[in-house]
Amino acid sequence: MSQTIPPLPPREDLLKIAQAAIANAGDLLADARTLAEAGSFPRAHALAALACEELGKEHQCLRALWLPPAPKAFWDGFTRHTDKLSHTQTQFMLRSDEPLRSPDLFNSRVHELTRLAHQRKLRGLYVDYADGALQLPRHVTEQEAWRLIHLAQEQLDRERAEWDQQVQKAQWLCQFSPRGRLIWVMFIFWAMYTYPDKMMPALRDGTCSAALVALLPEFDHVFRESLASSDSHA
């Protein structure tokens, strides 16, 4: 018997979910700090990881405002821990000292960091057994807990500060047709993979919008040529 997939929430509910997720992330971090101050570092780390997941949930909802996915894709991402963790791991990576050589290498590194973050979250909660050895919550260290608490708090502060801007951006994109929004996404992917030497540093230093504007005329030319080629082969 197939499971019924609920529809995508309406836009006003997506905004409410995103706002509630941000608020809950703050509550989880407050509890994580309390636990860390009491010396319960594994559980503090786990709560900080859950706060990161809530920030990922907020990001998914804001993106769904202007680029609505299929209901199954939305709910899969909404409930899958690693999908939600990947957002904050992406932000952590952008603010790290690791080199950003190409989109593929960047995505591969984010995927690996997300997998490790999920594993460490579970390690702080459960006893496990692997390779002939016990895996215990106390293996999550004080340093790990405080590092994640601070990183998550910094990201939460940014999400709060940029809330109005992100909502306005989503509403601005909503004025375009679904085809127009899809072309916008295509443009971003084209820019990232055609000019990684320009776009990867721009992602890190906050000049991504300016870099995209500079590349727009070239993309317009390439896109029109592609359309003309498709028409000629039709």
Determine the average pLDDT of the residues in 71-94: 95
pTM (2 d.p.): 0.90
* Residue indicated by tokens 């340093």: 143
Report the amino acid identity of residue 2: S
The conformational region for residue 131 under phi > 0 = left, psi -120 to 50 = alpha, else beta, is left
pLDDT band at 231 (very low <50, low <70, confident <90, very high): low
Render pLDDT for 200-214 as a digit per residue (tens, 0 to 9): 999 888 898 899 999
Mean pLDDT of the chain: 93
Render pLDDT for 165-176 as a digit per residue (tens, 0 to 9): 999 999 999 999
* Residue indicated by tokens 């786990």: 46
**pLDDT exceeds 90 at position 224:** no
Return d(Cα 230, Cα 225) in angstroms, integer.
9
Residue 177 phi/psi, 5-degree rounding, is -70, 160
All structural domains of the chain with their residue ranges: 11-175, 177-234
